[in-house]
Structure 1
Amino acid sequence: SILRVEPTTSVPELVTPGKRRKDICLRDLPKEVQGAFRSIFVPTIIEFCGCIEAWTSPMASDIQELWESTMPDGIHDQFSKLNGGKVVEALVQDKLTTWCNNTGKAALKTLKGIFIKENLNSVDQRKTYVAQQLTGTYKSYHYYYSVAVGEGSNVQYMGAFQSPLISKTFAEHLKAIDSIPQARRIADRPTGAIVLAILAVRYAIISLFLQQDHSSFFSGSSRPNVLFNWE
């Protein structure tokens, strides 16, 4: 007799090689893993990415190391098996995209709230506000600071990254990692998340003025090609 091997999708949690990464979803993980992935691993990988250079995706080795150090017994040593077909990597990328886009949406919501609070309803009023917020260079835009004293070349800024625009946008990152116990938090500064908030606000300012929706600007090829040096 001749043995014929045919592909099948009838095996639970099987991800065939032909399945596209964008079609992978949480149900592709075993049921006993889904809850831990959602409640433990997602905040963990978001915190990690918030502490590295912005726009840097975690490598498979980073994901595996975090998985093995944070996931519960019986799951922590199953990464290689569960990541068959790059399932875990695809799910991680999807969650990071959601995190980035939620940051963009938070910036838009915050800016709209400021427009309402300050009665900036006309095009001219918003144009003046936008021009003021974008005064300076990428190292010292007006919207970075909570206080600005003086005008023109004599302006002095205080409260870096403490403006309502930045702080409320950055709060989206803090909300995403809130479930991580303090004792297990990463000691590194969340510079990547701060850059994310800074650029989300910048795009919100520009897009609202132009009446365009850039809440998902972090995805795909539209990611800003900007590097920040922290001193």
Structure 2
Amino acid sequence: MPNEMKGQYSQCGGAIRELSTESLKGWRNSIGEAAITIVEQILDGKNEEERKTFIEGQFKSKYWMRPYYYPENNVERSEEVFQSRIVSETFATHFKVIKSIPDDSRSEALPKAALVLSILAIDRAFELSQNGIHSGDFSSYKPAKYAGPIIHQLFAKMRNGEDRISTQMWSQIIAAAKAHVKPLTSSIN
């Protein structure tokens, strides 16, 4: 926060809250729209029955082992969890949104919330596609309010205190997503 704004929140709070809310809504919706686009690409060329079968196959297991978390839906490749095309490309949207923020102004925390949101968006995109609806306001998706904390547990610590997702795995997940982000180009020649 700029120094000249310190102590001024009571006068500016409403405007700051409104801008923050709009920014968050835009961030969530951009991730949701990315998920819809990628789901449609994956389902392109499949007939109605194939689409239905494929989507149902993604939800046969609980949140802990959804096939779409893994490349080629292969849950045997546990070392590549959250590195599938659909997860990586959806999660990449977060990095596209924040790439204009200077590195020293970004949080050093792992982007767990962005990955949780990506998973929720993919679930929603599959649901919308299955029901023949091709867009939606991801900011007002009510089931996400209940599923979000469940999905967040995928990234929590285990009972023994160890992280469910190691630092090395996080590096791989982030690298897979960032591979889909084009670098900023300079307009200075």
Please, what TM-score do these two structures have when normalized by structure 1?
0.59
**What is the count of residue pairs matched by the alignment?**
151
The answer to whether the 8 A contact 2:29-2:137 is kept is yes
The answer to whether the 8 A contact 1:101-1:219 is kept is no
Q: Cα distance, 1:194 vs. partner?
A: 0.3
1:54-81 CA-partner distances (Å, limit 9, x unpaired): xxxxxxxxxxxxxx2xx4x64x437426
Q: Are 1:137 and 2:62 counterparts? A: yes
Q: Structure 1: state its 5+ residue gaps.
A: 1-67, 150-154
Whole-angstrom CA distance in 2 between matches of 1:80 and 1:188: 25
Whole-angstrom CA distance in 1 between matches of 2:128 and 2:62: 19
The answer to whether the 8 A contact 2:120-2:144 is kept is no
- The answer to which structure has the higher strand fraction is 1
Q: Cα distance, 1:97 vs. partner?
A: 1.1
Matching residue of 1:77: 6
Q: Cα distance, 1:141 vs. partner?
A: 0.3
Whole-angstrom CA distance in 2 between matches of 1:123 and 1:201: 19
The answer to whether the 8 A contact 1:133-1:142 is kept is yes
Q: 1:107 to 1:220 in 2, by over 3 A?
A: closer
Q: 1:213 to 1:78 in 2, by over 3 A?
A: farther
Whole-angstrom CA distance in 2 between matches of 1:220 and 1:169: 17
Q: 1:79 to 1:102 in 2, by over 3 A?
A: farther
Whole-angstrom CA distance in 2 between matches of 1:97 and 1:148: 30
SS in structure 2 at match of 1:139: helix
Matching residue of 2:187: none
Q: Cα distance, 1:147 vs. partner?
A: 4.4
Amino acid in structure 2 at the alignment position of 1:185: R
Amino acid in structure 2 at the alignment position of 1:94: E
Partner of residue 107 from structure 1, selected from 16, 21, 35: 35
Question: Identity across aligned pairs (percent)?
Answer: 28
Amino acid in structure 1 at the alignment position of 2:139: F
Say which one has the larger Rg. 1
Q: Structure 2: state its 5+ residue gaps.
A: 157-163, 165-189
Query: For residues 183-222 of structure 1, what are the structure 2 equivalents within 5 Å?
Result: 183-213=104-134, 215-219=136-140, 221=142
Q: Cα distance, 1:224 vs. partner?
A: 3.4
The answer to whether the 8 A contact 1:97-1:219 is kept is no
Whole-angstrom CA distance in 2 between matches of 1:167 and 1:203: 16
- The answer to which structure has the higher helix fraction is 2
1:183-230 CA-partner distances (Å, limit 9, x unpaired): 333211110000000010011011101112453133274643121212
SS in structure 1 at match of 2:71: strand
Q: Cα distance, 1:91 vs. partner?
A: 1.5
SS in structure 1 at match of 2:40: helix
Whole-angstrom CA distance in 2 between matches of 1:80 and 1:220: 30
Matching residue of 2:177: none
Whole-angstrom CA distance in 2 between matches of 1:216 and 1:114: 21
Q: Are 1:170 and 2:94 counterparts? A: no
Whole-angstrom CA distance in 2 between matches of 1:221 and 1:125: 28
Q: Cα distance, 1:89 vs. partner?
A: 0.6
